[in-house]
Amino acid sequence: MMAAIFFAAVLLLSVESTRVSGRQASNLQRNALPQVFQVDDIPHSLNVSSCPGYTLSGLEETRTGLTAHLNLAGAVCNAFGKDVGDLTLEVTYDSETRLHVNIFDTANSHFTVPESVVSLPSVPQTIHKNDSDLVFNYEPSPFAFWVTRRSEPDAQPLFDTRKSSLPMTPIPPVIATDNSTALDGFPIVFEDQYLQLTSALPLDANVYGLGEVVASSGFRRDAGTNGGTGTIQTMWARDDADPIDRNIYGSHPIYMEHRFDSSTHTSQSHGVFLYSASGSDILLLTPPSSNVSLIEYRLLGGTLDFYFFSGPSPQKVVEQYGELVGLPTWQPAFGFGFHLCRWGYLNLNDTKDQVVKMREANIPLEVMWNDIDLYHAFRDFTSDPVSFPAAEMKTFIDELHANYQHYIPIVDAAVAHQVNATDIYDPYTRGAELDVFIKNPNGTEYIGQVWPGYTVFPDWFAKDTQQYWTEALRNWSQSGIDFSGVWLDMNEASSFCEGSCGTDANLSNTSPPFLLPGDPGMPITDYPEGYNSTISGPSGNITVNGTLTFGADGSTSSSLSKRGIGAGRQTGINLNVPPYTIHNGFGPLSVHTIATNATHAGDFVELDVHNMWGLMEEKATHLALLKIQPKKRPFLISRSTFPSTGKWSGHWLGDNFSKWQYMYFSIQGVLQFQLFQIPMVGADTCGFQGNTDEELCNRWMQLSAFVPFYRNHNQRGALSQEPYRWDSVANATRTAIAVRYALLPYWYTLFANSSLFGAPPVRALFFEFPDEPELFAVDRQYLIGRDVLVTPVLTPNVSTVDGIFPGRGLVTWRDWYTHDVVNASIGTNTTLPAPLGHINVHVRDGSAILLHSKPAYTIEETRQGPFSLLVSQAADGYAFGTAYVDDGETVPPTPNATLTFKARKGALSIDTHGSFKIAQKLDTITILGTEKPTRVSVDGKVVKSWQYLDTKQKLSIGDLSVDLNGAVSIAWN
């Protein structure tokens, strides 16, 4: 569900009233809340060309690295703030693979992320200066540094701030339409309101990450070469409906670069992470005629706190980042099931009806969700007494649990303000009693405006907020909303007005300041490309009266287009309008969110902590659920994210559109969040905004069955898109979910490895095949783990799909469904049949995958059934795989078992280690790529129930009942 709907369709209907309310909000903030921060009247040049940089002195070697002073190398420039003259450099070799370079103001007055928010590893006890993969190099005057690999000291540095490595300046705007991309100079700038640092990159560098973003260039970011314009990635959490190439819900200033050496035909990856919560722009540009590309950081505050990860493989970079910010939380098994939601299930009967119809259609439904329709007067932690009576909700949820199903409600970020003295709303009155809400600079409550009207916002820095949040969730659960997980929305945080607009306002006005989708005057008429409802009617069917609806005068366009602790008292800072204007999609930083001068406990100000609000809510909610259900793993899905969110929550990709383009965009979104260590991620399947149609929903339900978080969700007033609505979609969904549920042991193992080691469950093709440049930009296909290749259809009105098969002919790929070997082109696309209802899935040779042999209606029923094993042997007979098994819900450490599968020609061994008792038996084994045997045995006993299919080199062994709690040996000859 989205708040920003009025910035899209509703804007056309209510733009004038929105503008008026915005002006009123601004006036209220200025008149009622005088600015208590005295801004120094210093002229700003708005140009860094005269900034002198810094000179290094006082260098001292430490046992883990070095420290030094950095002093201004000349006269102050005050480009966008007041220059800080005294800096400290600290270089720490954290490990063999991680280097920490921190440049901060010696007075420690600038904001840094508190340990209470993100807990990073402590100072290393082991000395790594001489064995680190990475080496810190520097020039003293003007100070610059570069990072190299110890093994390749003369190669182009991984990160290089030297002026001599960068293009000559000044450079006119690199992006002609944006004057801010003029590059006046590349000195290190460190001011109270502006920091800048620039590094050279290889020309046309392969850069991934820097999000959250829906990038027009795809998973590989646009560096401004080969027809690209470059990238401006803004870090400022924002509630907007999945705009292209603009900042949205989360902030992740980490990138991975993948370098290919054409002389050796090998590649290496490394990672660079700026540990900062500050609003910022990160630019990827290539100036005209330059022999290098560049990355430039422009921050509104904080420090220049960098971590470098040596890789050298893409997977290692992701794992090394996870070691720093925290590994992903353990997911409960039910989270991998199919989830269904809608903004527009107006009452309990509507909600129950979906559960009934899904079962009647025999489409597995694991989790039923409710959007804000659930609430009484849009208020958090309530259920409407008429449309969702608490007692009836309890009965409904109990019935779900009895059928091994689950229930998840929404929690919005803002808490309704009490309207008057007779208004009884405990979540507000209890919060006011405990003093847990964000304040204005003058100490009064900060009052924004969201769905319930005027609202307050929890201050996660206040000492009693965790207690308050836990109480609110526990009371809600005990009232009848017995949730299995929580959906955190609007937590950028979103507000419909600018500033503390509720101050001195009429709090009884609880109407949203715009029309809602589906209301009279606000119809949802938009359909996917190629479908015209005025010609074909509003059904969205793929045919009407036997005629295809695609292309019937429908558009086929695919474009939519310290300040730290105590910093709240720091003087000379313009909290409302910093002199450097980052590229926030809404313009001023306080639009549609909490104002930047709002204050938090501990004297924090919103300007500094804004990007962390969602993370802090996720952490508080996760800890609250552990208190409420201490034996169960919390399951959270959140919209706004920040580094370390994966320790607490998963993520959905926000308020997307029912467009073919956005189905494609969902792949890059999933891949981004693997890098960000938030692997439980997925899109609103079939699209959230606008109307889907039968063909789009058919293809999308198949695609989403092969990503971690699988939910169908759409907006109020739009065409219903539950998968049972069209027969073709129902059939495609049943087929895809059957494969998904069969693969659950594989998914579960990948996520166990993610929680244990940080390994990404979903991977771009080059993650596994790093030396094949033709794969570096591929994001229309992806791998699940190392062994399963997914090639979805992402365009309308086709019956084939093109896909590349990695390995350049050295890897054998077999069709998931038929087990046929693919006759793939080497290094280029192969055309595959893809009739409606079919998604291409292929399995890699050398793999051994444990499966559920009888996918059932729910995850629990599926897990109670027997296992099967699929072994796809390489040419030499080799195959390998593992499977992690536990109870699927207990918070680790918990009893578990790891199964290891090893195959060679004519033999397969299974070894199990761990304390978990596996009750289910292994009933079938399929071995691909083997010669026909004359004899098959299990643990030395001859097995008669086997078949061999020569055309597929496929040996099928059935009617087994193999105990998986000990060693097992299978032989055939």
Cβ 649 vs Cβ 329: under 8 Å: yes
Picking from 700, 710, 686, the residue whose alpha carbon sits closest to that of residue 762 is: 710
Entry field: residues in the chain: 973
Residue 152: DSSP 8-state: B
820 catalytically annotated: no
d(CA 794, CA 656) in angstroms, rounded, equals 15
Q: How far apart are CA 892 and CA 776, in angstroms?
A: 36
Alpha-carbon distance 234 to 597, whole Å? Answer: 20
Asked about 16 being catalytic, the answer comes back as: no
Residue 438's identity, in one-letter code, is: I
| Residue where the block lists tokens 């086997």 | 946
Catalytic residue among 366, 492, 779, 860: 492
Exposed, middle or buried by CB within 10 Å (0-12, 13-18, 19+), for 588? middle
User: SS3 sequence, 350-387?
Assistant: HHHHHHHHHHHCCCCCCEEEECHHHCCCCCCCCCCCCC
Neighbouring C-beta atoms of residue 324, cutoff 10 Å: 23
Q: Are strands 304-309 and 266-274 parallel, antiparallel or unpaired?
A: antiparallel
- 598/529 Cα distance (integer angstroms): 43
H/E run at residue 307: strand 304-309
Do 57 and 68 contact (CB within 8 A), yes or no? Answer: yes
Edge to edge, what strands does the sheet with 813-815 contain? Answer: 762-763, 782-784, 788-791, 840-844, 813-815
Q: Distance between CA atoms of 259 and 4, rounded to whole angstroms?
A: 39
Q: Hey, is 266 helix, strand or coil?
A: strand
Cis peptide before 170 (omega within 30 of 0): yes
CB atoms near residue 226 (< 10 Å): 8
CB neighbourhood size of 130 (10 A)? 7
Do residues 466 and 624 touch, judged by C-beta distance below 8 A? yes
Give the whole-angstrom CA distance, residue 692 versus residue 698: 10
CA distance 611 to 617: 12
Please list the alpha-helical segments (H only) found in 218-361: 314-325, 348-360
Does residue 85 sit in helix, strand or coil?
A: coil
Whether the Cβ atoms of residue 631 and residue 890 lie closer than 8 Å to each other: yes
Catalytic, 959? Answer: no
3-class DSSP state of 870: strand
Cβ atoms of 172 and 182 within 8 Å: the answer is yes
Catalytic residue among 257, 617, 655, 787: 655
- Secondary structure letter of residue 70 according to DSSP: E
Residues sharing a CB contact under 8 Å with residue 690, sequence separation 6 or more, in sequence order: 524, 526, 527, 528, 657, 658, 659, 715, 718
- From CA 779, how far away is CA 219, in angstroms rounded? 6
Catalytic annotation, pick one of 240, 384, 489, 606: 489
* Residues that are catalytic: 489, 492, 655
